[in-house]
Structure 1
Amino acid sequence: MINNNQIIRAIGIDVHKDSYSISAFDPQTTNFSAETTVAADSKSVITYLKRLKKEIAVPVTIEIGYEAGPTGFGLKRDLEKAGYTCHVMAPTSIYRPAAGVKVKTDAKDARTLAKAVYWGSYSEVVPLSEEDESYRDYIRMRDDRKEALKKAKQNLLSFLLRKGRKYSGNPWTQKHLSWLKKQEFESPIDKLTIQEYLNEVTRLNDAIVLLDAKIEEFSREDRYKDKVDKLRCFAGIDTHVAMVMITEIGDYNRFTSAEAFSSYLGLCPGEHSSGKSTQKGGITKAGNSHCRKLLCESANSIARTNPYKKSKRLLERQKGISPDIISYADRGSTRIKSKYFNLVEYGKNANVAKAACARELACFIWGMMTEHMESRGEIRETVQQVI
């Protein structure tokens, strides 16, 4: 929140891929001025700000804000290089009237953002470093290939099902792949079709293997190695998930507590309370959906591991790591297994139990990344808090 005796302008920018709508809020008069639409590039915004300062003709404090979105953090970086203070605001944290609004325009959105900048009524999105962002985008590209592979496999099986061909065993094993390659059709067009589907599955499989090898190489770099080695001590976390949690989140110390971190990931329960009535809902699903999805998968993997014996892969990952780190990770894994089975026995849906375990895993990850490991053994919980 801006709070001083200087001339002040709070600038809101409604960002789109083709244009930027800009509005300047004057808290002394509570009026908006210098409202315009410029080309969607940093140079146009900087030119606008220079003209605004020249028009005011006295020293002025300028703070700028725009919503986080698909355009990324390039505008923020360019404005800060030019000497301006710029904030990237979380869209869900900006107040908007719930009802009664009949008109929505880019100009009105820019005004809303300008007032939010002045009052500080938003949560700021902390950008990654440009290097971490590059690694993050590479890993996201790998996961896009994984989704494409899933779709390609579905397309192949759907084609075969339409032709009355159904495999009786587990799909995508070596036996299943051998069965797929032996499928023969009388129609030359059908032969071309199944060959194209098989080629696409093979191509994507090979691409993912190469991408995973490159990500493994990245994880051995000095900037990531120590953090990756720590996270891999958890039973359900290997290199890929560890790299996602590092490159997507960046600095874990920006979260004041484990609960704040799990809330950021959307793993905390929603709430609808009024008067004496308190009603808990499902998880909010706010924040980073990529991390949330992987944590749910990892927590599910941990919950289903043998509680009395570590796998050979886990023992290999923990080799040479500090005993304190291993003990902490094992404590987290044990707690997650216990929570999963307790919730299922209590009658909770398996997916609800997985989400609760993912929240627990997120808390333990925060403790490890911020070196608050001594406090994560005693996390308060009730059944109502985790559903």
Structure 2
Amino acid sequence: MFTNTIPAARERWVVGLDVHARSISASALDLLTGELINARLAADPATALRFVTGLGADSAVAYEAGPTGFGLARALDQAAIRCVVAAPSKIARAPGDRVKTDKRDATLLARRLAAGDLTAVRVPSPTEEAARDLTRAHEDARADLMSARHRASKLLLRHGIVYSGGAPGAGTITPGWPAPTSTSPPPKTPSRTPTNKSCCSRSARGTSPPRSPTWPPTASSPTSSTPWAACAASPCSPRCSWP
């Protein structure tokens, strides 16, 4: 991520904001008189903007980059107020300073902004931020699907059922028995208990919908001779494959 060190503040007021999902803790430091104003604001960019403009002089604002995004920085930038989104890992703290509160964090941001000791993070454009969200959502979905497939396949494997059907990477769990050999034991019939059905149902909800039109098996399907055939008559869920 691109970062850069900012110069010392030249404005009269420096404002540190500790931004959370439901509230904003603000500390405004007057570099001319040394006056420090603390306030607790609603988690709304318009409220923070009114607080900063109400100081009555030119101001600079700093807050830490976090999950709240960059909407506040864009709102301050549109109002021609200099805003620094600081990298949290690069904020200098005293070695013995272990007390961490919203008020102290906001005051620390204001003082670091006045001294020019903050490292700024580049604020992305709305298009760039939307592309980031899409990429992260896609990766999260892939990780969730892989985790769900592993949970379901290992649940079946613990009961002696080996996955052997479907195309590689299809994303569905289609139970099938391995080809019989002279040394392979006959497949075990898993016990159909409420606990097992509940576990399989929860695992199946995380996988993608089945793509094969022949699933679930019917009385005339090739899999009707396996213990899975009973699931077609009374499945525990539309996407469950536990007998």
Q: TM over 0.5: same fold?
A: yes
Distance 2:113 2:15 in 1: 7
Q: Distance in 2 between matches of 1:61 and 1:198?
A: 58
Q: Verify the 8 A CA contact 2:162 2:175 in the aligned structure 1.
A: no
Inter-CA distance 14–200: structure 2 relative to 1 (3 Å threshold)? closer
Q: Deviations over 1:214-270 (max 9, x none)?
A: xxxxxxxxxxxxxxxxxxxxxxxxxxxxxxxxxxxxxxxxxxxxxxxxxxxxxxxxx
1:36: which partner in 2? 39
Which deviations, in whole Å up to 9, do the C-alpha atoms of 1:297-322 show, x marking residues without a partner? Answer: xxxxxxxxxxxxxxxxxxxxxxxxxx
C-alpha offsets along residues 101-135 of structure 1, whole Å, 9 cap, x if unaligned? 25321111111000111122121110211012112
Structure 1 residue 41 displacement after superposition: 0.5
**Which of 175, 200, 205 lines up with 1:180 in the alignment?**
175
1:155 alignment partner in structure 2 = 151
CA contact (8 A) 1:32 1:111 kept: no
Tell me the residue number matched to 1:202: 208
> Matched residues in 2 for 1:25 and 1:193: separation?
57
Q: How does 1:144-293 map to 2 (within 5 A)?
A: 144-165=140-161, 173=168, 180-182=175-177, 185=190, 187=192, 189=194, 190=196, 194=200, 197-198=203-204, 200-203=206-209
Higher Rg of the two aligned structures: 2
Residue in 2 that maps onto 1:120: 116
| Structure 1 gap ranges (5+) | 54-59, 206-387
Q: Is the 8 A contact 2:162 2:176 kept in 1?
A: no
Given residue 201 of structure 1, which amino acid in structure 2 is its aligned partner?
A: T
1:1-387 equivalences under 5 Å are 1-2=7-8, 4=10, 8-29=12-33, 31-53=34-56, 60-98=57-95, 100-165=96-161, 173=168, 180-182=175-177, 185=190, 187=192, 189=194, 190=196, 194=200, 197-198=203-204, 200-203=206-209
Equivalent position SS for 2:150: helix
Give the direction of change, closer, same or farther, for the CA distance of 1:155–1:112 in structure 2 (3 Å limit).
same
- Structure 1, residues 303-362: CA drift from partner, whole Å, max 9, x if none? xxxxxxxxxxxxxxxxxxxxxxxxxxxxxxxxxxxxxxxxxxxxxxxxxxxxxxxxxxxx
Q: Is the 8 A contact 1:66 1:88 kept in 2?
A: yes
List structure 1 runs of 4+ shifted beyond 6 angstroms.
none
Counterpart of 1:70 in structure 2: which amino acid? P
The gaps in structure 2 that reach 5 residues or longer are: 1-6, 178-186, 212-243
Q: TM-score, normalised by structure 1?
A: 0.44
- For these two proteins, the number of residue pairs brought into alignment is 193
CA distance in structure 2 between the partners assigned to 1:18 and 1:26 by the alignment: 27
Question: How far apart, CA to CA, are the structure 1 residues paired with 2:142 and 2:12?
Answer: 49
2:91 and 2:9 map into 1 onto residues whose CA distance is 19
> Percent identity of the aligned residues?
30
TM-score normalised to the size of structure 2? 0.68
Partner Cα distance (2:36, 2:202) in 1: 59
